[in-house]
Amino acid sequence: MKLLAACGLMLAMGVGTAGAQVKTTAGLVEGVTADEGRVRVFKGLPYAAPPVGALRWKAPAPLAPWTGVRKADASGAQCMQPQVFADIVFDRLASEDCLYLNLWTPARDASAKLPVMVWIHGGGYQAGASHEPRHDGVRLARNGVVLITINYRLGVFGFLAHPALSKDDGRGSSGNYALLDMVAALAWVRDNVAAFGGDPGNVTIFGESAGSFAVNALMVVPQARGLFHKVIGESGAHFGPSLSAATREASEANGEKFGVSIEATTAEALRAKPAADVLAAASKWQPWFSPAIDGVVLTEPVAATFAAGKQAQVPLLAGWNADEARGGVLLATERPTATSFVNQTRKRFGPAADALLKVYPADSDAVALESAAALASDLFISYSTWKWIEAHRATGGAPVYRYLFSRKIPVAPGEVRNGRPVTAEDVGARHAGEIEYVFGTLDTVKNVPWTPADRTLSEAIGKYWTNFARTGNPNGIDLQAWPVLAATAPGANQDMGPRLIELDTTIRAVPEANRARYEALDQMLTAPPR
């Protein structure tokens, strides 16, 4: 009786119960169920051979098949990384053997043909993992999608370019291994997701921060063409100063210096170095290792491909948070004043400062503080996302939907930074703060006083995202109408009528408010060098 009662409790909780076996191209896997048996979960599914030993700093190799049934009840190891960001939380050790994905499906069998969503995590291309608690896929899967989260190689392991590695490579180039990992994961989806009830012909890639940069890049990566059909970008794209892709020459020169620093100048010597030693050295290295224009994976700057209209012509839903970097300004040791903001702007931007100060005014200390927060957010990530949206709708025929996440996110009481109490007003709609709303995982952020309005907003965002994955249109009968952005020539008046959806405790279709800021930055950042 006790055993039957325990089994009944497990079924009611929806954890630990056996999921049906599924045959993949590499062998049988068996997962578990969640959400009172409504969602099948498969964790730790490998999508490529472990990139270790001779396979370190090589394109992902095909996965070796196995015999028997592989248990898929626990996430694979996270990729090698330093502790960079406080909001990235893990429950396991890192390893080079990390090319795994997690999958949630509400489908009972292979005939469902549900839309597929593939999440690419953020973390500056240096940190993060598919199994972060905030990335749990149960709630999105409830909306009738197959949800997949993937790992990809990070930092030096994902992006080291080096002349010796290029010579050793059949492509004649090196670096961008992380982007190729993403391609390999999408190829796995193409070949296997139907067995889990997903439609390989209806795949949406989505990501936040570096994950958004990545999905933006995948729109121009030749190897990714045809592997996805819709894109969602949350805060970030390769159109601005953040995480800019270096030239092949610069990346290889940087990698060569790194090799000298760890006393490894050949491909064999680089691969022989212990992973922990490589990571320790890379953790102190500047600039960070990130994508490069290598002529193979990224054949030219991302912006150039979009300008020519040669990117993947697929529906795009993208936007950013209203206060991406606000907390870093308002909670700094010394807040900007009208005088200091003007002086710093002139020192930093020289002749461009006059135009910037017109759209980021400093009429008083209070105004300057808001302008400083806005400029920091725009340069960090808002401008690049705006430019991506503008470039895609100007050159393509695919629909584009834009959002602004504006919820001033509640903060845990008692938090202090630089001697100041942290308030929701100080932090606002912070960078990465929308992730838990998208996934419906608010409760993974502890000690925060979430309100019913936060949960309602989260439910609406989940519906918008999954509707878009299903049809390329986020709208639904129970949602505030979201206007599509028409394809329009650059420079045309964009302020007539609603242009985007504002995601807050009240969801509204609103006009574009800050176009003058982005146009001023665009003129400065895209001007030819003098």
Q: What are phi and psi of 33, to 5 degrees?
A: -115, 160
Residue 120 and residue 438: Cα distance in Å, rounded?
A: 13
Half-sphere exposure of 90 (CA within 13 A, CB side): 21
As a dihedral over the C-alpha atoms of residue 482, residue 242, residue 149, residue 433, rounded to 10 degrees, the angle is -60
Half-sphere exposure of 414 (CA within 13 A, CB side): 3
Distance of CA 487 to the CA centre of its chain: 25
Secondary structure (DSSP) of 162-189: -HHHHHHSTTS----HHHHHHHHHHHHH
Residue 461 and residue 121: Cα distance in Å, rounded?
A: 18
List 96, 392, 431, 502, catalytic entry: 431
Is 431 one of the annotated active-site residues of the chain? yes
Q: What are the tokens at 435?
A: 């992730």
Tell me the C-alpha to C-alpha distance, in Å, between residue 35 and each of 10, 140, 247, 502: 11, 12, 47, 30
Half-sphere exposure of 272 (CA within 13 A, CB side): 7
Is 209 one of the annotated active-site residues of the chain? yes
H-run or E-run covering 417: strand 416-417
Q: What are the tokens at 116?
A: 């597929």
Beta-ladder partners of 230:
204
- Residue 351: how many other CB atoms lie within 10 Å: 10
List 75, 166, 173, 209, catalytic entry: 209
CA neighbor of 147 nearest in space, from 167, 169, 166, 130: 130
Residue 73 and residue 71: Cα distance in Å, rounded?
A: 6
Residue 429 and residue 436: Cα distance in Å, rounded?
A: 12
Q: Is 401 helix (H, G, I), strand (E, B) or coil?
A: strand
CA neighbor of 402 nearest in space, from 499, 479, 309: 499
List 324, 390, 434, 502, catalytic entry: 324
Q: Which residues are catalytic?
A: 209, 324, 431
